[in-house]
Chain A
Amino acid sequence: DAMVIQNPRYQVTQFGKPVTLSCSQTLNHNVMYWYQQKSSQAPKLLFHYYDKDFNNEADTPDNFQSRRPNTSFCFLDIRSPGLGDAAMYLCATSRVITGLPTNEKLFFGSGTQLSVL
């Protein structure tokens, strides 16, 4: 059974039209992450939540926002998508922060492939 669920699998939006991607988890994990992965590149961390505490990466554009209304759900809002924002967006969860010396797993969803026309 899927434990980190991302919807939709494919999303097409127009240049400048706001879009929201969703992620839900059944693991009751404390930490939820959003990554952007462009073709043939490594995933790039945009931000993460530890419970309700939001942690933004310094180089994440203001165009990207996130909401976590409860433990299970997390949303990625792109306020004005540009052509350069076309990418795979990956949601991930972990019980504790991945920077700890731990064997705790990081679970990824299947991703949402965003196209911007």
Chain B
Amino acid sequence: KNQVEQSPQSLIILEGKNCTLQCNYTVSPFSNLRWYKQDTGRGPVSLTIMTFSENTKSNGRYTATLDADTKQSSLHITASQLSDSASYICVVSAHNQGGKLIFGQGTELSVKP
């Protein structure tokens, strides 16, 4: 069964600190993996997209890694800001399954001053 598991479920950090969010998946055949940021009451916003051949991608203070062998991804946030408080969602798509994306449950990040 295609699944995406994220950890931790929630995380509280102090402003200025770094953090790493984890994503494990069992989706096969793997097509691509996306990280999204979703503010409360808003639609998700794309942070990174990685295909099978890519093992790291950065977007400003966000760096995603992908290990397609172990089926794990991480999202590292550097020098956190209050505006980073949001839900971070890992999304994986399987090849040749049309528009279907498999969403993780998200990690709720809270950055405190």
Q: What is the interface of chain A, defined by CB distance below 8 A to chain B? A: 4, 6, 31, 33, 41-43, 45, 48, 50, 55, 57, 88, 90, 92, 94, 97-111, 113
Chain B residue numbers with a CB within 8 Å of A6 are 43
A-B contact count (CB 8 A): 76
Contact A33 B99 (CB under 8 A): yes
Q: With A103-B49, A105-B46, A108-B43 in contact, do A43 and B103 touch (Cβ < 8 Å)?
A: yes
Q: Could you list 9 A-B pairs, sorted by A, with CB under 8 Å? A: A31-B99, A42-B104, A42-B105, A50-B99, A92-B43, A99-B97, A99-B100, A104-B49, A106-B34
Chain A residue numbers with a CB within 8 Å of B106 are 42
- Give chain B interface residues in 78-112, CB to chain A under 8 Å: 89, 93-101, 103-106
Contact A45 B43 (CB under 8 A): no
Contact B31 A106 (CB under 8 A): no
The residue in chain B whose Cβ has the minimal distance to the Cβ of A47 is B99
How many chain B residues touch A (CB < 8 A): the figure is: 28
Contact B100 A109 (CB under 8 A): no
Q: What is the interface of chain B, defined by CB distance below 8 A to chain A? A: 31-32, 34, 36, 41-46, 49-52, 89, 93-101, 103-106
Chain A residue numbers with a CB within 8 Å of B100 are 45, 57, 98-99
Q: With A110-B43, A111-B41 in contact, do A101 and B103 touch (Cβ < 8 Å)?
A: no
Contact A98 B42 (CB under 8 A): no
